[in-house]
Amino acid sequence: MAEQKIATSKVAGTWAWFFQRVSAVLLVVLLGLHIYVDHFVDMGKPLDVAGIHTRVKQLLFVVIDYSLLGMVLFHGLNGTRTVMFDFDMFIKRKKLVDVGLWVLGIAMMIWGIIVLFPFING
């Protein structure tokens, strides 16, 4: 019996696969840290508007939230890229897809920074 080959797309690449797994692990760690810092670390103030402003001004909170945003964007857009390359019409436009997703990711990261920044400054 002849061996039947299954057509697979190798366009997504090994590095994309590797970083998808790394970002997934980082997402789990960062989400755990986010939940712990937001709900279990006592900052001495109740969780009202003033208490939230106090928490948001902490460097640890800012680093965790921006890192979480970056990993969510990377993981989601890298997964979208991989799914898109499963379709032949996108494989032919690989560079355009890559540039488009990078531009979208950077724009969304900047938007996320801008949205949280007024809360950090008070």
How large a percentage of the chain has pLDDT more than 70?
88
| Residue 5: per-residue pLDDT | 58
Query: For domain 15-121, which CATH number applies: 1.10.3470, 1.20.1300, 3.30.70, 3.30.1490?
Result: 1.20.1300
The 10s digit of each residue's pLDDT in 91-113 is 888 899 999 999 999 999 999 99
User: Residue type at 52?
Assistant: I
Q: Indicate whether 10 pLDDT > 60.
A: no
| Residue 1: per-residue pLDDT | 59
| Residue 3: per-residue pLDDT | 64
Integer Cα distance of 21 and 23 in angstroms: 5
Q: Indicate whether 116 pLDDT > 60.
A: yes
| Residue 52: per-residue pLDDT | 77
Integer Cα distance of 13 and 23 in angstroms: 16
The domain spans of the chain are 15-121
**H-assigned helices in the chain:** 14-39, 49-56, 59-84, 88-91, 94-121
| Residue 104: per-residue pLDDT | 97
Nearest to 9 by CA among 76, 74, 89: 89
Residue 56 near residue 115, CB atoms below 8 Å: no
